[in-house]
Structure formats: structure tokens, C-alpha cells
Amino acid sequence: MVLDSTYFWLFLSVIGACNALALSIYFFLKKGSNLTHRLLSVFIFMIFIRISKSVCFFFYPEASKTYLQLGLTANFLVGPILLLYIKQSFKQKSARNLNWKAHLLPPSGFAILVGVVWPYEHYSALWNIHISTAIVYCWFAYLFASLISIYPIIINKDIELFKSRYTQFPIVVLCTSIGLWLADVFTSYTSYTIGILCFLLPLYLSLTLLISKLNRAKPQKYASKKISQVKATPILNALEKLMTEDELYKCPNLSLSQVADKLHISVPHLSQILNDNLGISFTSYINHHRIQLAKNLLIEHKKMSLKQISALCGYNNQSTFYLAFKKFTSTTPAKYRKEKVAQAENA
């Protein structure tokens, strides 16, 4: 007996939906759950609604159209939830939580209002032609905004993107969202394509979490190879000399391998020293020196523009400079300068 491919994709969709629901509950209720986890939880729940709608439509095409309305509403809300999740994951606004209510409550209220006033059951033509089209455009706008928000980070490699699941997840979620949008707009076999994507995203997240837990459960195999402070100190002193005397951190495209070459050590060796002995990544180490210089320039050169200061500190663009400055000081360069100037005048 040959299994009908339709039922095979339907089977994957059902598994994906169940997995999505379980993951959504896990991220929302897990111990130590923060805003980032909860936004991811809500995003996955929207995926669950979207794929459940397709499954319901397959089995009960003549039943109540409420589930079709829920599916379209989920498509609409995926956009703002995605943008909030991406920004919060990379902490682009500040080290504090974003004001999610201001971003999410208005579109949620609007979706509820439209659903109550013009329910799909009685206005199917309106939903299929006009509302669904508007949802596609809104979804695209949020996808574009999400891409723009992380563009400076990816281009300037300010975050080691694929070393931690906390930075892997947003990239995978964004790519999945783009795939869902493309499938919804351009694919003739939309249900199948979306079913596959909705199956793969929860599967990836589940496997990543499982592998992460298994790795944490294993003993640290290389713990005994930790570099001693005695051996690390001369290297750290030479590194600090490169930064303070040679001002190497001012190089815009400075890389870990370039610094390792100047210290005549391997890249893994330098990375291990920074992580084990200083408890900091290479990117954070360089940004620390750059932001210290920026703070001095902001105070000593009151008329120097922020663009000039960011360039002098080694940043390719102001966006990256703003992100790094706010991460280290919890304020913007302009506010920092204003506060320090006011303090000096009052003194």
C-alpha cells in the first residue's frame, strides 16, 4: 500500500503542531523565563494556531470558519511579535526589557475589533480578498523591519551569532518567518510548504534544547586544560599593551585572528584566555576599550559629532556604536554627554 503524500504531510503537520504547543508552554513556564522566552513562546503559539488551522480545514472544510479567522489573525500578529522578539533577543533598545505592551496591544486590539465587527463567518469575501491581502503586506513590513534591526549587528559581527542558542534562535525564527511568508504568497502548495516549515522549526528548537541539556549534564572534559593564571598573565599584559599603547582597538575591522597573530599565539588559545581568565568574549573586550575612549571624547570634545567619535573609536557606523555604548552604559552617547556636562557645570 502506497501512502498518499497528502496524508504524509498532514502527519508532519500534526506532529509539528503538537510539538509547537509543547514548546510554547515550555518557554512560557520554564524556570527563569524572561521577556525574550515569553515572546518566543507567543511566537511559537501563533505557529501552532497557523498549522492547526490547516489541519482543521483539511478534515472539516465545511465546518465553522472561525478557525480560518484565527489562522489569519495569527498571521497578522506574528509580525509584531517577531519584531519584538528579535529586538529583545539582541537587546537593541537597551539592557532592559522593551515596552512590549506599546508594540503588541494596539495590533492585538485592532485584530480583535476587526474579528468581532466583521467575522469571517459572515464576511468571507472581505477576509479572503481585502483583509488577507492587508495581512500579507503588514507581515512583510514587520519582516523587513526585523531584518533592518539586526543588519548592523550581522554585518559588523558585533555578536558571535552561532556560538549560543540565545543568538541562534532569533536567526532561525526570522528565517522561518521569511519562509512562511514566501510560501504564503508565492507557493501554490501553501499548506504543504507551511506544514513542513512549521514542523521543522519546533523540531530544531526541541533538538537544540535537548542537545544543550545533554551537554550540560556531561562532565567538563577539558576542564583540566584550563590555562593557569601564571601562563595567562604575560599574554594578558601583552594584549593590554596592544590596546593601551598601540590602540589596536581603533581598527574598524579588527578580528580575533589579527590580535592572535600579533601575540604569536593561536586563535583558540587567545579565545580561551579571554573567556576563562577574564570571563569576557573578544567582542566585549574590544568594545570595552572603544567605549572607554568614546566616554572620554564625549566629555573632552563637546563639539565633536557622534559620527566622528564613533569613527575614531573604530566603529564602521553609528548604529553599531549606539548599540555598544548603550550596552555598556545603559544610556545613549548624547544623554551621557549631556549628563556629564551638566555635572561639570554644577560643580
Query: Which residues, other chains included, contact 13 with Cβ-Cβ below 8 Å and sequence gap of 6+?
Result: 51, 54, 55, 191, 195, 198, 199
pLDDT at 207: 62
pLDDT at 291: 93
Grid cell listed for 52: 492547526
Domains assigned to the chain: 5-216 (1.20.1070), 226-346 (1.10.10.60)
Percentage of the chain lying above the pLDDT 70 cut: 74
C-alpha pair distances (Å), 77 with each of 73, 104, 165: 6, 8, 24
CA distance 89 to 154: 13
pLDDT digits (tens, 9 = 90+) for 279-302: 888 888 999 999 999 999 998 888
CA distance 10 to 338: 60
pLDDT at 25: 86
CA distance 2 to 18: 26
Between vectors from CA 181 to CA 75 and to CA 140, what angle results, nearest 5°?
80
Q: Which range among 43-52, 115-124, 206-215 has the greatest average pLDDT?
A: 115-124
pTM for the whole structure: 0.56
Query: Which residues, other chains included, contact 5 with Cβ-Cβ below 8 Å and sequence gap of 6+?
Result: none
pLDDT, average across residues 39-51:
83
Percentage of the chain lying above the pLDDT 90 cut: 7
- More confident position, 103 or 141: 141
DSSP secondary structure letters along 146-208? HHHHHHHHHHHT-S-TTSSHHHHHHHHHHHHHHHHHHHHHH-TTHHHHHHHHHHHHHHHHHHH
pLDDT digits (tens, 9 = 90+) for 94-122: 444 567 788 888 888 998 999 889 998 88
